[in-house]
C-alpha cells in the first residue's frame, strides 16, 4: 500500500470530444482540471472542426479568424483557472478540482470537511451524555477522531480533507495505518472504522457526499473469548477480607454485577428508584440498559441484597442517590487487577468479566433458561445472549449424567 507524501499539483488540459459532435459538425472543446490526481471537467462552450484541432498544443491549428478567437479564449480560460487556484491558496482554502470548477462556474458551494462534521458529531454526543450516550462512549469517539487527525497529517500532510476526497482507498489506508503505525489489533482498528462509518452515514444522509467510501468494503471482527470466574474463584473473591477499604468496595461492586448481570454503565447509575417489589414481596431491579435501552428485569438474589443493605447508609451513596459506591471504569479495572493478584486469580479481571460470570456461572450453570438470561441481561434477542453462553464442564457433566442414566435403565 505504502502511503506516500502527496504534493498538491495542478494541471489543466484542453481536449475535444470527437465522439460527441455538435449539430454543426464540430467537436466541443473541454477542459480537464486535475488536482492531486483528482479530476473535474468543464465545458468551455466552444467548438472546433475536428481536423483543425492540435492536441499536442491544445489549440486550433487554423489560421482563420474563428481559430484565432478560440485560441485566445482557451488562453484566457487557462489564465482564469490559474488565478482561481492562487485565490484558493491565498484564502487558505482546500484546493481541489471540484473547488476550482465550482468557483469557475460562479457557484461556490459550502464543502464540508471530514474532521468538521466529525467534531460536530462528537460535540452533539457529548451534549447527550446521560440521555443517549455514556461518558465512555463519547471518549471513544474522541479517541477515534484523534487517530483520524493523525492519519490525515501522516498520509496527506494536511489538517483536514474535503468529503469528496474520500474513497475506498482512503478507508483501506486508514485501516492499514491503524494496524501498522499505531499497532491496533484487528478489532480495535475496526472500532475506529466503525465510528468513522457512522460519521460518513451522517454525511450521506445530508447529501454532503455523493459516494460512500465504505461501499464494497467488508470487515470481520475476530471472535473474542472474554474470561469469566469459576464458582470457586467467585467464592474465593467473596471470602477474602481486604484491609484496604477501596479494594473491598471495588470487590463488592464487581460481585454485585456477578449476581445481577448488570453492566458497569448500569450499576454506576443504579438507585433506589430502580428497585421494585412484586405482589409476593420479591425484590427486583427494573432498569433500561444505558447501551441498548432494553429493559432489564432482574430478581435480586440474597448475595446481591446483602450488598445493597451493606451500603444503604454509606454517606457517599446517600449524597449521590445511588445504591453502591462505584468508581470510574478505569479505576475499577485498575483495582480489579490488584484484587486478582491478592486473591491468586490468574485471570485479567475487568468490570465486563462480571457480566460474563453472571451469565455463565450464576445463571446458565444453575439451569436458568437462555430466554430468561436474555431478559435479565436486557438483550434484544437471544443471539446476543449466546455470546455469553460459555460451555461449562459442570453443565457438560450434568447432561452426560442424564445420558449415563438412560443407558443404565436399558441394562436393567
SS in 3 state form for 118-129? HHHHHHHHHHCE
pLDDT of residue 394: 59
pLDDT of residue 170: 95
pLDDT of residue 359: 87
Which pLDDT band holds residue 1 (cuts at 50, 70, 90)? very low
In this prediction, residues 222-233 reach a mean pLDDT of 83
In this prediction, residues 374-390 reach a mean pLDDT of 72
In this prediction, residues 332-354 reach a mean pLDDT of 93
Q: What is the CA radius of gyration of the chain?
A: 32
Q: Which CATH class is domain 114-205?
A: mainly alpha
Which pLDDT band holds residue 335 (cuts at 50, 70, 90)? very high
Which pLDDT band holds residue 109 (cuts at 50, 70, 90)? low
15, burial (CB in 10 Å: exposed 0-12, middle 13-18, buried 19+): middle
Which DSSP string corresponds to 129-149? BTTTB-HHHHHHHHHHHHHHH
In this prediction, residues 44-67 reach a mean pLDDT of 94
pTM given for the model: 0.56
Asked if residue 268 lies in contact with residue 323, where contact means CB atoms within 8 angstroms, the answer is no
Give the rounded percent of residues in the chain with a pLDDT score beyond 70.
92
pLDDT at 94 over 70: yes
Exposure string of 335-374, with b = 16+ CB inside 10 Å and e = fewer, is: bbeebbeebebeeebbbbbbbbbbbbbbbbbeeeeeeebb
Give the rounded percent of residues in the chain with a pLDDT score beyond 90.
59
Residue 72 has a CB neighbour count (10 Å cut-off) of 11
pLDDT of residue 412: 59
Grid cell 459506591 — which residue? 325
Which pLDDT band holds residue 110 (cuts at 50, 70, 90)? low
Q: How many CA atoms lie within 13 A of 219 on its CB side?
A: 19
Q: Whole-angstrom Cα distance, residue 174 to residue 189?
A: 9
pLDDT of residue 402: 73
Asked if residue 370 lies in contact with residue 364, where contact means CB atoms within 8 angstroms, the answer is yes
Which pLDDT band holds residue 5 (cuts at 50, 70, 90)? very low
State how far Cα 399 lies from the chain centre. 41
Residue 34, beta-bridge partner list: 11, 39
Q: Whole-angstrom Cα distance, residue 252 to residue 234?
A: 11
pLDDT of residue 392: 59
Among 208, 255, 36, which Cα is nearest to 113's? 208
pLDDT of residue 3: 45
pLDDT at 122 over 60: yes
pLDDT of residue 104: 86
pLDDT at 143 over 50: yes
pLDDT of residue 216: 93
pLDDT at 323 over 80: yes
In this prediction, residues 55-62 reach a mean pLDDT of 95
Residue 234 has a CB neighbour count (10 Å cut-off) of 22
Task: Mean pLDDT check: name the lowest of 154-163, 182-191, 362-371.
Answer: 362-371
Task: Mean pLDDT check: name the lowest of 26-40, 59-73, 171-185, 394-408.
Answer: 394-408
Q: Whole-angstrom Cα distance, residue 406 to residue 400?
A: 10
pLDDT at 255 over 70: yes
Angle at 157 between CA 114 and CA 36, to 5 degrees: 80
pLDDT at 119 over 90: yes
Which residue has better confidence, 217 or 5?
Answer: 217
Q: Where are the domains of the chain?
A: 10-104, 114-205, 231-397
What is the dotted CATH code of the domain comprising 231-397?
1.10.443.10
pLDDT of residue 81: 94
Which pLDDT band holds residue 53 (cuts at 50, 70, 90)? very high
Which pLDDT band holds residue 391 (cuts at 50, 70, 90)? low
How high is the mean pLDDT of the chain? Answer: 88
pLDDT of residue 393: 59
pLDDT of residue 387: 66
pLDDT at 2 over 50: no
Strands 283-288 and 275-277: antiparallel
Amino acid at each position: 500500500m505504502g502511503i506516500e507524501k502527496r504534493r498538491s499539483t495542478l494541471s489543466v488540459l484542453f481536449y475535444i470530444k470527437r465522439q460527441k459532435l455538435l449539430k454543426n459538425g464540430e467537436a466541443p472543446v473541454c477542459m480537464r482540471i486535475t488536482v492531486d490526481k483528482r479530476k473535474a471537467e468543464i465545458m468551455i462552450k466552444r467548438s472546433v472542426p475536428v481536423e483543425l484541432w492540435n492536441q499536442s498544443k491544445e489549440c486550433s491549428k487554423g489560421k482563420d479568424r474563428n481559430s484565432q478567437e478560440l485560441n485566445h479564449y482557451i488562453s484566457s480560460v487557462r489564465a482564469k483557472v490559474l488565478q482561481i487556484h492562487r485565490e484558493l491558496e491565498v484564502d487558505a482554502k482546500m484546493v481541489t478540482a471540484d473547488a476550482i470548477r465550482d468557483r469557475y462556474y460562479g457557484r461556490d458551494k459550502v464543502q464540508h470537511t471530514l474532521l468538521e462534521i466529525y467534531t460536530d458529531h462528537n460535540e452533539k454526543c457529548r451534549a447527550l451524555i446521560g440521555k443517549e450516550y455514556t461518558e465512555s462512549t463519547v471518549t471513544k469517539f474522541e479517541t477515534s477522531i484523534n487517530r483520524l487527525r493523525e492519519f490525515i497529517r501522516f498520509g496527506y500532510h494536511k489538517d483536514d480533507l474535503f468529503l469528496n476526497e474520500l474513497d475506498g482507498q482512503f478507508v483501506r489506508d486508514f485501516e492499514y495505518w491503524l494496524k501498522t503505525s499505531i499497532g491496533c489489533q484487528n478489532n480495535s482498528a475496526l472500532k475506529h472504522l466503525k465510528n468513522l462509518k457512522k460519521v460518513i452515514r451522517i454525511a450521506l444522509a445530508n447529501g454532503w457526499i455523493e459516494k460512500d467510501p465504505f461501499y464494497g468494503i467488508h470487515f470481520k471482527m475476530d471472535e473474542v473469548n472474554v474470561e469469566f470466574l469459576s464458582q470457586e474463584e467467585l467464592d474465593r473473591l467473596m471470602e477474602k477480607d481486604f484491609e484496604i477499604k477501596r479494594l473491598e468496595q471495588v470487590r463488592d461492586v464487581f460481585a454485585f454485577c456477578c449476581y445481577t448481570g448488570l453492566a458497569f454503565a448500569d450499576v454506576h447509575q443504579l438507585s433506589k428508584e430502580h428497585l421494585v417489589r412484586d405482589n409476593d414481596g420479591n425484590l427486583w431491579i427494573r432498569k433500561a440498559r444505558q447501551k441498548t435501552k432494553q429493559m432489564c428485569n432482574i430478581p435480586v438474589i440474597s448475595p446481591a441484597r446483602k450488598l445493597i443493605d451493606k451500603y444503604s447508609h454509606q454517606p457517599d451513596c446517600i449524597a449521590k442517590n445511588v445504591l453502591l459506591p462505584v468508581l470510574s471504569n478505569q479505576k475499577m479495572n485498575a483495582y480489579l487487577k490488584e484484587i486478582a493478584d491478592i486473591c491468586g486469580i490468574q485471570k485479567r479481571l475487568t468490570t465486563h468479566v462480571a457480566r460474563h460470570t453472571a451469565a455463565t456461572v450464576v445463571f446458565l450453570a444453575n439451569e436458568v433458561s437462555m430466554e430468561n438470561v436474555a431478559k435479565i441481561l436486557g438483550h434484544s434477542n437471544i443471539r446476543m445472549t449466546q455470546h455469553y453462553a460459555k460451555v461449562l464442564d459442570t453443565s457438560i457433566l450434568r447432561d452426560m449424567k442424564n445420558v449415563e442414566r438412560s443407558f443404565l435403565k436399558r441394562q436393567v
